[in-house]
Chains A and B, each alone.
Chain A
Amino acid sequence: MKITVTDQAGEVHELEGLEGWRVMEVIRDWGLNIKAECGGALSCATCHVYVDNDWLDAVGAPSDEEEDMLDSVGDVKSNSRLSCQILCSDELDGLKLTLAGSASKEA
């Protein structure tokens, strides 16, 4: 499956995602600017992404715990998600998302 990620600088990257991987892990593995400091434990919000509106239904709504973690960043939008909570699957082939400013290593 493929994921299209727009980074904080506006550059578009097409990444190969592996079934069962977390989207955060794919983005981190490709060396894009994502801090992901808790490593996927749903204990921070430094893998914050905006899901392309066309993909919101397929990705689904964030869990309560994920909403709680999103409180710790100041750039939340209605399509905000934590990329560690999105699992790569065939249904998400072609997923488009944008890295939030609050996910960058410098934030």
Chain B
Amino acid sequence: MSEENSKAKKHVTWAEPPQMTLMETLYIPAIAAGIGTTVKRMFGKNETRQYPEVEPEIPPNYRGVHRLNRDDQGRVKCVACFLCQTVCPAKCITIEATATDKTDPNWADRDKYPATFEIDELRCIYCGMCEQACPVDAIELTSIYDLTGLSREEMIFDKEKLLEVFDETTQSGKDPVRTKRGTLGPASEILVDLPDESSSSDHPSS
């Protein structure tokens, strides 16, 4: 017991509430001061933003609706490697891969591409892990934050819709392509011998 007390002597500092003065115990001056504060607030600056008229400034690293990037030839950049589908914690990405037609000169440099690419925007938690996982920088999150829909089906974005988001966002200038432009990423460069990045860093839209 005494040991405890000596401990308390060392570590406990008592905080007493401040003594009330005469003006405070009369309460009326305090209430008047409170009213003064609220009146002052009334004429102060408003902190709210009038949202639909004034839109917020979205930081460039905002994680909004997804898009599928196009490469410099306008093809879907995705190589259907399934990394994003695998890493997705919400399991909202569904990819069906197809082998490319090797006789087609447009697809000569690619082995696979996604036949379908669906993202359930309602199931997605917008963590951005698909973007991190993608070896060819084909999937990116844009700054679109006001996504709405009338049905669940409408909120499942397919490949065409995701490419459309790419076209819209790059044209509006809000979301420039953030990562390696035009060319496929380093993972695809191992497969196809492309020139170095500096010479091919121009994107049609930029």
B and A form one assembly: no
| Residues of A bordering B, CB below 8 Å | none
| Residues of B bordering A, CB below 8 Å | none
